[in-house]
Chains A and B, each alone.
Chain A
Amino acid sequence: MNAFELQQYLDFAYIVAVVLFILSLKFLSSPATSRWGVLAGEIGAALAVIVTLFNPEVSQYKWILITLIIGAGVGVPLGLVQMTAVPQRTALSHAFGALSAALVGIAEYYVGTSPVTRFEMGEISLEVIIGSLTVTGSLIAAGKLQEILPQRPIVYRGQNVVSLSVLAGALGLAVALVVNPANTVLFPIMVVVALFFGVLLVTPIGGADMPTVISLLNSYAGFSAALLGFVLNSKVLVVSGALDGSSGFILSVIMCKAMNRSFTNVMFGAFGQVQASAVAAKEERVVRSASPEDAAAILDAARSVVIVPGYGMAVAQAQHKVRELYDVLTKKGIDVRFAIHPVAGRMPGHMNVLLAEADIPYEKLIEMDEINGDFPQTDVALIIGANDVTNPAARTDKSSPIFGMPILDVDKAHTVMVIKRSMNPGFAGIDNPLYYLDNTLMLFGDAKQFVSSIVKELSGGH
């Protein structure tokens, strides 16, 4: 077999891999077939990796094998993290993906076989800029999610001007390189500036916006891989990158819609700063609070209960106790369902994964649009660690920062119970009028302990 024939076989194997990748995403359309999706993806990826080892350009195997082993050694523990750590793991994997795309792009610039043309220089520069900013941006996001870095947005005067100037600087260097690709001094400077921009991009963004940010970083990582495919003229990269990029992009659009905000507002709005003045101006209003015994009695008398989980449930690790509550109520013949807001938690689908881990059947996890009409017929809405996504001010109060955001209409339930640590306003610092309604009972305490006390009360009563 000559080299040309071999290359054709390799290309054919890549086409098979790409078809398997597309099937992989198709299988994900339903939970019933979804695990086939993983299998299809694994076969495609394994095929692509194995045939690449036979590429005639590969002459030295030592470092490939060593780094494949290192990669597997890092990947396995990252694949086995706790479900509560999935958001930060995801951010970290965006960083790894973008890192490898950026490094290959950088290496391609330094491969001195033929002088880089201006067109290629433009492609490489764009690819390396997007890849690099995604690396540092994702690392900052992972740091915030792991709470190594403060989750609050870090802002200062003139921040947007500074950030945009840095981005303009990176793009300016790219233009200078296109004009003169032989200017090897500028290239590393451009990489460093792009890395710095990634830090500036994500530092001001607060934890509540992480679902959007993590989706955007996902799409950047995908598009940088697709651009790398352009640089290397590799269709398998173009397709995989386009699939990943469009997935991240669609998720970011869904997240933005779920918060009634635009991309620019998420990236530059520094949502989640404490609005000190607004909070201070609020007069003391009366809330009604209740004990676990009262809450248990109300739940016991209910026919239908909707539980609204939020990030607070994840922080308190309360999902397994929530599962016990679900069991004890279901045994009593009470209809229990879960209302999932698209931005509940720190990444798209976060709540679903936590509740699925706690063995809640997925038919009970209902999307916002489907369940909102049912709240007027719901006896009890039990809110566990969610705040802004239940704030009725989003429907009524034009001056509220979250006005227009689609919310779960929990206030329409006959009784609303809110498990919350204290009356401190939530992450976004926005007061929630829900807590002062006549049909609302506040259950003050740690989510895990409180749910556990309710469960004890309910099962002890028989």
Chain B
Amino acid sequence: MPADFISNLYVFILAGFVGFELIKRVSPLLHTPLMALTNALDAIVVVAAIIIAGRHETRLTTILGAIAVAASFSNMVGGFLITDRMLRMFKSGRSK
């Protein structure tokens, strides 16, 4: 088993717990924006896609990487945009 795997596993488990504690505290009111936001954060896959597309190893990997860049970057842009639009709509009656 490679050493990297163990250190990644540590990170994964700790991040999983952090995620669990954070998500538990999100009000059910905001579950739809939560899903949109985590989707946008998950689009960080774009960094891996950029490296694959930019490394220019074979034509196949460049094409795969390029499609992945477009797919994940659209999630990133669209995800943040729609999350913000949704959150802007949640208004308190008292603040009016």
In chain A between 35 and 79, which residues have their CB closer than 8 angstroms to a CB of chain B?
35, 37-38, 41-42, 44-45, 48-49, 52-53, 55, 57-61, 63-64, 66-68, 70-79
Contact flag A93-B75 (CB < 8 Å), given A34-B33, A79-B82: yes
Interface mask (A236-274 → B, CB under 8 Å = 1, otherwise 0): 111111111111101100100000000000000000000
Most chain B C-beta atoms within 10 Å of own C-beta, residue among A73, A108, A246, A365: A246
**Least Cβ–Cβ distance between B10 and chain A, in angstroms:** 9
B45 touches A67 (CB 8 A): no
Contact flag A239-B87 (CB < 8 Å), given A32-B92, A86-B32, A352-B32: no
* Assembly CA distance A367 to B14 (angstroms): 30
A196 lies within 8 A of chain B by Cβ: no
* Assembly CA distance A238 to B11 (angstroms): 7
A316 lies within 8 A of chain B by Cβ: no
Q: Which of B4, B35, B58, B96 sits near A110, CB closer than 8 Å? A: B58
Q: How many residues of B contact A (CB 8 A)?
A: 85
In chain B between 62 and 86, which residues have their CB closer than 8 angstroms to a CB of chain A?
62, 64-86
Q: Which residue of A lies closest to B4 (CB)?
A: A233
**Least Cβ–Cβ distance between A341 and chain B, in angstroms:** 10
* Assembly CA distance A214 to B48 (angstroms): 25
A29 lies within 8 A of chain B by Cβ: yes
**Least Cβ–Cβ distance between A355 and chain B, in angstroms:** 9
B54 touches A79 (CB 8 A): no
* Assembly CA distance A45 to B73 (angstroms): 10
Which chain A residues lie closer than 8 Å to B80 at the CB level?
38, 41-42, 45, 79
A364 touches B82 (CB 8 A): no
Q: Which of A44, A77, A243, A254 sits near B18, CB closer than 8 Å? A: A243
Most chain A C-beta atoms within 10 Å of own C-beta, residue among B45, B47, B89: B45
Contact flag A232-B48 (CB < 8 Å), given A86-B32, A239-B15, A243-B15: yes
In chain B between 1 and 15, which residues have their CB closer than 8 angstroms to a CB of chain A?
1-2, 4-5, 8-9, 11-12, 15
A-B contact pairs, 30 of them (CB 8 A): A28-B26, A29-B25, A31-B87, A35-B88, A38-B37, A38-B87, A45-B40, A55-B50, A60-B55, A66-B66, A71-B71, A72-B73, A75-B78, A79-B80, A80-B85, A83-B89, A86-B36, A89-B82, A90-B36, A100-B49, A101-B68, A113-B57, A119-B5, A247-B34, A250-B23, A251-B34, A347-B31, A348-B31, A349-B30, A361-B94
